[in-house]
């Protein structure tokens, strides 16, 4: 069974610090990788996608992909209280599979 | 702006009822998905469809069926609702190919089976 693994957290990070979220996946045929943010009671919304090895930056967010290690991460710089949410890692292997999510709590 | 619309935001049904959850997308996406989300279990794929009349089982298809008669519409059917199917149900759609094939989500249907 194809799996996407994340630490469930909660991960507590002081405001202004860097939050680091990690994800591993089992299927080497995975093509695209996504990070979604989900606030309580809301649907997931896309933050970043990445499909090439290396780093991809968008504002305060950086996604990192290492296909050899089957590892994808999300860094959030200058963390804000509004970043407190559950972050879902997702992988496209002809269908989109989600991890269980990591709860992030930014401490004011 | 991509829009995925689910027919109901909240639904209460009785055990044994046949339940239909409808989802419509307006971006001509090939792929459509049904997930359920439960605390501690994350988003679990029930069924997905990559074309009209085509469907594939996800990780937890038992007790569910789906229908895709038109490209824009994907229905989830609970043949005989049970209390363990009480959950948040999320529909999503995406395009195919490489690159950004992100899933766009509907607003979710919170189903309670009593």
B48 at A interface, C-beta within 8 A: yes
Q: DSSP for chain A?
A: ---EE-----EEEETTS-EEEEEEES-TT--EEEEEEE-TTS--EEEEEE-SSEEEEETTEEEEEETTTTEEEEEESS--GGG-EEEEEEEESSSEEE---EEEEEE-
Condensed to tens digits (0 to 9), the pLDDT of residues A71-95 reads: 999 999 999 999 999 999 999 887 8
What is the spatial distance between Cα B27 and Cα B4, in angstroms, rounded to a whole number? 9
Is the CB of A88 less than 8 angstroms away from the CB of B42?
Answer: yes
Cα–Cα distance for residue pair B35/B58, rounded to 1 Å: 9
How many other CB atoms are found less than 10 A from the CB of residue B75?
18
Contact B98 A88 (CB under 8 A): no
pLDDT at A8: 86
The pLDDT-based confidence of B71 (bands split at 50, 70, 90) is very high
Which pLDDT tens digit goes with each residue over A23-56? Answer: 999 988 888 999 999 999 899 999 999 989 999 9
B33–chain A Cβ distance below 8 A for any pair:
yes
Mean pLDDT for B91-104 is 83
Residues of A in contact with B38 (CB under 8 A): none
User: Which has the higher per-residue pLDDT, B42 or B22?
Assistant: B22
Q: 3-state class of B35 per DSSP?
A: strand
**Percent of chain A residues past pLDDT 90, beyond the cut:** 81
Asked whether the beta carbons of residue A32 and residue B33 sit closer than 8 angstroms, the reply is: no
C-alpha to C-alpha distances, B17 to A37, A46, B13, B87, nearest whole angstrom: 34, 35, 7, 16
Which residues is A49 bridged to in the sheet?
Answer: A34
Q: Is B89 on the interface with A (CB under 8 A)?
A: no
CA angle B94, B8, B4 (to 5 degrees): 20
From chain A, which residues contact B within 8 Å (Cβ)?
1, 8, 31-32, 34, 43-46, 49, 51, 88, 90, 92, 94-101
Which residues in chain A are closer than 8 Å to B54, comparing Cβ atoms? none
Pick the residue from chain B with its C-alpha nearest to A51. B99
Q: Which residues on A lie below 8 Å from B50 (Cβ)?
A: 94
CA distance A79 to A105: 10
- Which of B56, B98, B108 shows the shortest C-beta gap to A43? B108
């Amino acid at each position: 069974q194809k799996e996407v693994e994340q630490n469930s957290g909660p991960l507590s990070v002081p405001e202004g610090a860097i939050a680091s979220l990690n994800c591993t996946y089992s299927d080497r045929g995975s093509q695209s990788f996504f990070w979604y943010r989900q606030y309580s009671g809301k649907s997931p919304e896309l933050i970043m996608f990445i499909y090439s090895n290396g780093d991809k930056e968008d504002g305060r967010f950086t996604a990192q992909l290492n296909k050899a290690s089957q590892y994808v991460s999300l860094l959030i710089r200058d963390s804000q209280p509004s970043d407190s949410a559950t972050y879902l890692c997702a992988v496209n292997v002809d269908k989109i599979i989600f991890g269980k999510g990591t709860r992030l709590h930014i401490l004011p | 702006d991509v829009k995925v619309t689910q027919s109901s935001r909240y639904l209460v049904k009785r055990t044994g009822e046949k339940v239909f959850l409808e989802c419509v997308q307006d971006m001509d996406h090939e792929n459509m998905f049904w997930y359920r989300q439960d605390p501690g279990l994350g988003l679990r794929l029930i069924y997905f469809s990559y074309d009209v009349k085509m469907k594939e089982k996800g990780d937890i298809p038992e007790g569910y069926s789906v229908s895709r008669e038109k490209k824009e519409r994907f229905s989830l059917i609970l043949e005989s609702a049970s209390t363990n199917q009480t959950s948040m149900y999320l529909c999503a759609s995406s395009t195919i190919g490489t690159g950004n094939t992100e899933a766009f989500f509907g607003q979710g249907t919170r189903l309670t089976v009593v």
